[in-house]
Amino acid sequence: MSNDYKKAVSIGGKNITNEAEQARLDAIPKELRINTEGIACGPLIEPIPSYIKAECETVLEGANNTSIVFGRDRAGPRTSGYGGRGDTQAGSIDIVVGRMGANAKSFTEAKSPQQRIWADPDCKKDAARIYISQKTDVDKNFGLATGKVGDAKAKSAICMKADGLRFVARDGIKLVTRTDRKNSQDGDILSAVGIDLLATNNDEDLQPIPRGKNLAEAIERLAEHLDKLNGVVDSLIMTQNQFNFALTHHFHYGPAKIIDVPLVPGFIWQTSPSMSVQTAGIKCAIDLLSQDKQSLINHKINLATYKKKYLTHVGEKYINSRYNNTT
């Protein structure tokens, strides 16, 4: 972040607005010039554009490019906004400092004849403003991304814009939406609209803001499901291991039956069944079906319930905010 700043006018010739402005300053007698350099917030000569006043407006202007305009909605020329189109209930208050921003001028560049610079409201270039309107298209006027909240049209609005905004509270700050069922135009508010936090005025990757407690609970529940799955797999391994042990340690007892197999030279000896393997195999099959298989079915059901509860919009503990988003 740059720490540079610009002095609007310097009598010494540095950072002057333009040559015509400097010539006008040079024409001031030296003994008077000392009293117009703004030291200790004293009188200061600096470039100030002339405001293009609409007929309906009452304008309070300060000496240092500051003004409060009481009028009807407009964010540009007198034909703009709902004031420009003649709508009723479109009153506005526009508090502005630094019209034209860093490019502020009082007169044109030409030394002779000089002409005054006139300026309309400019939501992009003016240095800082608080704009209050009874009826306006605030997002359009200030060039704001749509987001999930959407663009407000023909509604009352307050917008603050400056290089830096700071909201300071000794107790707390609340950002609250939908406090009423009707808007200022007596229209029904049909949907709940939340809060969008848009860094760089970009809404391309706008995502819901996680809800901390629900997210923590969801992660904890997922860990429990994984632990239970570990138990199911461990039981499966133990059951299979018992059967494997029986297979690797079994012996056959009793007479063998000789079988003559066609096309195979010699004889194949069929021994008697291993009772220990049969017993272990039956037990393994029963355990796999009655315990491990059912445990896996239950685990799958639990995961489906988990997803619905924490990861879907209809879940009672949905981990994301249903209304508030950020980039």
Domain layout of the chain by residue ranges? 1-46, 52-203, 212-326
Determine the Cα–Cα distance for residues 70 and 142; give it in Å rounded to an integer: 19
Cα–Cα dist 58/90, whole Å: 15
The angle that helices 293-311 and 212-248 make with each other, rounded to 10 degrees, is: 170
Cα(177)–Cα(194) distance, integer angstroms: 6
The one-digit pLDDT tens for each residue of the chain (327 residues) are: 455 555 544 444 334 456 666 666 667 676 666 666 777 787 777 889 999 999 999 999 998 999 999 999 999 999 999 999 999 999 999 999 999 999 998 888 776 777 889 999 999 999 999 999 999 999 999 999 999 999 999 999 999 999 999 999 999 989 898 888 888 888 888 888 888 989 999 999 888 888 888 888 888 888 788 877 777 777 776 777 777 666 666 666 555 566 666 665 555 555 666 777 777 777 777 776 667 677 778 888 888 888 888 888 888 888 888 888 887
Tell me how far the alpha carbon of residue 19 is from its chain's centroid: 45
Residue 100's region, left for phi above 0, alpha for psi from -120 to 50, else beta, is left
Predicted model pTM:
0.72
Q: Which of 65, 69, 130 is nearest to 102 (CA)?
A: 65
Q: List CB contacts of 92: < 8 A, sequence separation 6 or more.
A: 69, 70, 71, 72, 73, 74, 83, 131, 132, 133, 134, 136
Dihedrals φ, ψ of 128, to 5°?
A: -155, 145
Q: 189 to each of 138, 155, 323, how far by Cα in Å?
A: 18, 12, 15
Which tokens hold the place of 154? 């023909």
Describe the crossing of helices 275-287 and 212-248 by its angle, rounded to 10 degrees.
Answer: 170
Shortest CA distance to 95 belongs to which of 156, 51, 146?
51
Distances (CA, A) of 166 to 126, 160, 163, 173, 209: 18, 11, 10, 12, 22
Q: Tell me 58's DSSP state.
A: E
